[in-house]
Amino acid sequence: MAQNATVFQKKVWKILQQIPAGKITTYSVIAKALGNKNAARAVGNACNKNPFVPAVPCHRIVKNNGEIGGYSRGVKKKIALLEKEGITIKNNRVLDLNSKLFSFR
């Protein structure tokens, strides 16, 4: 639960919730939004333990490279969810990543 969560995790989830359906973001973007571009690891870690599944769209997070990366519930599930939202996945990769990439600023 969020009560046991740290501020960092809360921030991550909050950012994730800002992502509109059909859009995706990268670990770097989130990390930067948190203020630490090197916190990409922590972001993934936070998602892995996120209690708001699937309230928190962890599946909308992809690697900066455009790869799917991983998912607590299995990459397959992640792909299925993304495709359902209009995102095309090919060979564990996101197509039109640039087009669907969501930036916070």
Partner DNA sequence: GTCGTGACTAGCC
Partner DNA sequence: CGGCTAGCCACGA
Per the CB < 8 A criterion, the answer to whether 35 and 48 are in contact is no
Q: Which of 42, 58, 81, 87 is catalytic?
A: 58
What's the min distance (Å) between Cβ of 85 and DNA?
Answer: 15
Q: Which is nearer to DNA, 20 or 51 (CB)?
A: 51
- The total of other beta-carbon atoms located within 10 Å of residue 52's CB is 16
Task: Give yes or no: 58 in active site.
Answer: yes
Q: Give the binding site for DNA (CB under 7 A).
A: 4-9, 26-28, 36-42, 44-50, 58, 61, 63-65, 69-72
* Helix spans in 1-105 (H): 7-17, 27-34, 40-48, 75-84, 97-100
Catalytic residues: 58
